[in-house]
Chains A and B, each alone.
Chain A
Amino acid sequence: MRTAIPATLSLRTREALTGWLFVSPITLGFLIFFVGPLIAVFGYSLTEWNLLSQKSTFVGMQNYADALGRNPDFWHVTRNSLIFAAGLVPLNMGLALYLAVALSRPFRGVVAFRTIFFAPVVTAAVAWAIVWTFLLQGEQGAVNQALALIGIDGPNWLREPSWAMAAVIVTRVFKTVGLNMILYIAALQAIPRDYEEAARLEGASGWQIFRMITWPLLAPTTLVIMVITVVGSLKVFDHIYLMTGGGPENGTLVLAFYIYEQGFKFFDTGYAAALAVILFVLIAVLTIGQVILRARSERA
């Protein structure tokens, strides 16, 4: 007995030690390169700090007051981010669902179609943005040449404030819709066929089956996809950087790009940090909101 207890204890201790040893690399790295910086960004946001002058003074909530009150840019940028999300999310999810419904069941050529719609997902965003910038050039761009064939005089997409945002949204949808399509296909294939067969025997039409059976069963997937897509739309950076640079007339200046600009182009570290905190809060609220929503829908 005497030896047995220390033996089990040491076994458990050894197990715990092994556990911590195994998780120590990611834990240490995560603390240094994520948790630390996350705390630091809160700290920075309370200072007036110019990267060039290297001087940092504590100013309390001044940067937040600037963002929310004095600096008109912030609301303009927030509005742009919301427009971007409001345009991208429904378009992306609608198209993804349409493609998934069409491609969830085998037919000749289904793999080819899936491969095509997913291809931009594995392509670098930078490459995609560059090629689309090329396609969307003023008069000589391929898109406008194609439009001219059917008698439409296309605008200079990326240079006109009213069109630039739409162009960036649509090309971003093409880049990312494949991922959502795949997630929807997986969910659709998990729905038992019997449900549909039964409904069909009752005389339900294809559209009725989709609305009354398929769509409700897809709800958990839809929720997950929605959060991924909303968060993805809030952090869009490379597309904006390469296609419009935030222009024209700041028409596509969105939050993630604004943070970069303030921090690394204008070297206003304190203000940029406050913006990063705002982005953090926005995404945290959205993510937590999703968890609550999902829990509630599971209880119901």
Chain B
Amino acid sequence: MRHHSRLVRFAWIVSLCLLAVPFIFPFLWMISGSVKGQAEIFAPGLTLIPEVFRWENFAEVFSYQPFARQYVNSLYIAVVVTGLTLIVASLAGYALARVRFAGSGLLLLILISALMMPEEVTIIPNFFLMRDLGLMNTHAPLILLPVFGSQGVMATFLMRQYFTAIPKELEEAARMDGLSRLGIFWKVALPLSRPALAAVGIITFLFSWNLFLEPLVFLSDIELFTLPLALSNFTDAYGLPLWHLQMAATSLAVIPILVVYITAQRQIVESFALSGVKG
């Protein structure tokens, strides 16, 4: 915006501020709703700060359904999915970038062709597969499908791209010292690829944390629910949403992620820029 006149620049800033409203206001209204009572939540006047703070909303979230348990479920599944994906994707990505073996080109091609395929295409056979494996109503599908589906493939592809860009000379030297392939991978390539590991880790964690279709299809026991499934579950006897609880629960799920995002903004945005594949 260097060359613009003051007026033009002012117009740009005003337009950005106006456009920012639908991006900020939902978060503010969510937080505001989380401390309002049922009566005040739809009161006219658009007041962000309620007359009476109803902190009990948060307590009720936990008594209405096993929310703490569901929170832990989401957290541990995301950690396991991220860990497994990093192992599987960095191993395969390294081999596809560096190791010469018959069929590697074909394998890469097959994997790339799956990058864009959404889980909706394979969800029906996967339902029967998981049923036959006795994994219905367990967390296993929520771990296996992201790690080995198109999300895992994307992670592998990103790791491969990164390993390809590392200078070969660094590995040659290690090889001269008598290191095995696994040794080179572990001691040379992996430490050098920390930025890629961080990026893949961030994207994978959020992908798992936000997963909705799989929990919906595979889980029926409320104790096993993950957050996205639990969030929409705060309804009264007639199935109508209890908005104050819904907002409190959503705030509890969203705010920690937002805090991490704001502190590590640059790193997280760059991770997504690197991927450029999912949306």
Contacts and interface: CB of A to CB of B under 8 A. Distances in A.
A140 B210 CA distance: 29
A92 B88 CA distance: 34
A43 to B, nearest CB: 8
Interface residues on A, range: 35 or more
Name which of A29, A182, A234 has the most chain B CB atoms within 10 A of its CB.
A29
Nearest to A273: B124
A268 B20 CA distance: 44
B243 interface: yes
A276 B125 CA distance: 10
Interface string A177-207: 0011011011000000000000010000010
Interface string B234-265: 00000001010011001001100110011001
Given A22-B94, A127-B254, A235 B3 contact: no
A23 B92 contact: yes
Contacts of A260: 120, 123, 213, 217
Contact of B116 (A17, A145, A149, A283): A283
Interface string A109-125: 10101111111111111
B124 A269 contact: yes
Given A23-B96, A37-B126, A182-B272, A119 B258 contact: yes
A247 to B, nearest CB: 14
Contact of B29 (A26, A124, A142, A264): A142
Given A36-B129, A142-B46, A114 B120 contact: no
Contact of A107 (B1, B182, B276): B1
A74 interface: no
Interface string A132-152: 111101001110011001000
A298 to B, nearest CB: 18
A29 B46 CA distance: 51
B76 interface: no
A124 B228 contact: yes
B66 interface: no
Contacts of A234: 118
A214 B100 CA distance: 41
Contacts of B129: 32-33, 36-37, 40
B174 interface: no
A259 B118 CA distance: 12
A130 interface: yes
Contacts of A232: 279
B27 interface: yes
Given A23-B107, A26-B152, 13 more contacts: A15-B101, A23-B96, A26-B91, A34-B149, A41-B122, A115-B269, A118-B272, A134-B241, A176-B279, A182-B273, A237-B213, A256-B120, A259-B124
30 contacts: A15-B100, A16-B100, A20-B95, A22-B91, A22-B94, A22-B95, A23-B107, A30-B152, A33-B148, A37-B126, A102-B1, A114-B265, A115-B265, A118-B265, A119-B258, A125-B228, A126-B229, A127-B228, A130-B232, A134-B30, A134-B33, A135-B26, A179-B279, A231-B279, A256-B118, A259-B123, A259-B124, A276-B120, A276-B122, A280-B121
